[in-house]
Amino acid sequence: MAQYEKRVFSGVQPTGNLHLGNYLGAIKRFADLQSSYECIYCIVDMHAVTARWTDPTELRTHVREVAAAYIATGINPKEHVIFVQSQVAEHAELAWVFNCVARMGWLNRMTQFKDKAGKNSENVSVGLFDYPVLMAADILLYRAHYVPVGEVQKQHMELTRDIAQKFNIDWADSIAAHGFGEAYFPIPEALIQGEATRVMSLRDGAKKMSKSDLSDYSRINLTDSVDAIRQKIRKAKTDPEPLPLDHKGFAGRPEAENLVSIFAALTQTSVDDVLKEYGGTQFSAFKAALADAAVEHLAPINAEMRRLLADPAYIDDVLQNGAEKAKVIAAETMRAVRDIVGFRN
Ligand code: TYM
């Protein structure tokens, strides 16, 4: 493996229905980072079971689907690491240590938990509440510097930084005594970039595009056929006005803003440039251009995912190799953490 100075880590849950939001908000940028950094991309199956247990066969299928999406979008598994979280036990082990670092008050402020638990907060799993601590363990186990994620993960990234900071301060003397200098964990930075870091539902511009939305018309799945992509864009909710001439014209028009942002992200331009070209045009014409861009971009990924999924042995091989590489780094971190906090090695 080539030598890189800094490390990138990110993860996607194998909960099925991988969609355009996951792609534009996160996965699309994973491959871009591989020329500059050592990249570790995880399939977080332990996070996937926090909301509900999935049928085990279905969970394994969804794991392969995320792996196929990673490879199909250009991540090179020979040079970088693609692996499954549950194969590296140290994620759970470090999460336990961090459970005793993070404070209840910090977790009580997590808006994603409040959104997901809704009125049912007494009845959701402890794992759902603890989700962000496990996420911090994922990132810090590899002592990653950068984490490409969508906008919705910003608060979890702040929590990760707080946990790293508190660990470094609480254990400062022991960290120094064990020869790790002033701080053991780097403070990781979220990379929230691009024109579509928060892709909204195609049916309701106030809701984010989500794997769990009951309406399949709310999202474009990475496994959708060309016909399905075109139809979903044609049916996407809009308003009767033509496209605005500038950013200010998006006020009160979340659906318009969403479609323009998606187009900008797909065609690698900016929202301003899209408005220069399409401002004042009717949605019917713009939607046709958007459907062409989406198909041009997603059809090759879709075809490659299908090809890969037809060869599960290859995917499993990639994941096995990835787990072996990840375990080496994870074991080294846990050895250090055990020394630092006084557990036995
Ligand atoms: P997941 O699987 O829910 O989402 C995967 C990535 O997709 C982004 N995303 C979106 N981006 C833009 N618009 C949307 N509508 C949209 N929906 C989802 C998410 O922000 C995410 O980047 N908590 C993570 C999984 C995780 C993780 C980690 C990530 C677990 N451990 C460590 C980074 C580092 C999540 O949201 O997965």
pLDDT at res. 105: 98
Nearest-CA residue for ligand 1 atom 4 is 12
pLDDT at res. 2: 63
Nearest-CA residue for ligand 1 atom 35 is 12
How far apart are the C-alpha atoms of 292 and 1, rounded to whole Å? Answer: 38
- How far is residue 8 CA from its own chain's centroid? 12
Contact 198, 151 (CB under 8 A): yes
Beta-strand runs (E) in 63-202: 81-84, 146-148, 189-191
pTM of structure = 0.97
Which of 3.20.10.10, 3.40.50.620, 3.10.310.30, 3.10.20.90 would CATH assign to domain 7-197+312-341? 3.40.50.620
Nearest-atom index, ligand 1, CA of 209:
15
Around ligand 1, the residues with Cβ closer than 6 Å are 9-13, 21-22, 25-26, 44, 47, 135, 138-139, 147, 149-150, 152-153, 156, 197-199, 208-209
pLDDT at res. 228: 97
- How far is residue 224 CA from its own chain's centroid? 20
What six digits make up the tokens of 237? 């909710």
CA of 322 to the centre of ligand 1 (A): 20
pLDDT digits (tens, 9 = 90+) for 212-243: 999 999 999 999 999 999 999 999 999 999 99
Which of 3.30.70.3150, 3.30.365.10, 1.10.240.10, 3.90.79.10 would CATH assign to domain 216-307? 1.10.240.10
Phi/psi at 75 (nearest 5 deg)? -70, 130
How far apart are the C-alpha atoms of 243 and 259, rounded to whole Å? Answer: 10
Residues in the chain, pLDDT under 70: 1-2
pLDDT at res. 21: 97
Contact 61, 106 (CB under 8 A): no
How far apart are the C-alpha atoms of 284 and 153, rounded to whole Å? Answer: 33
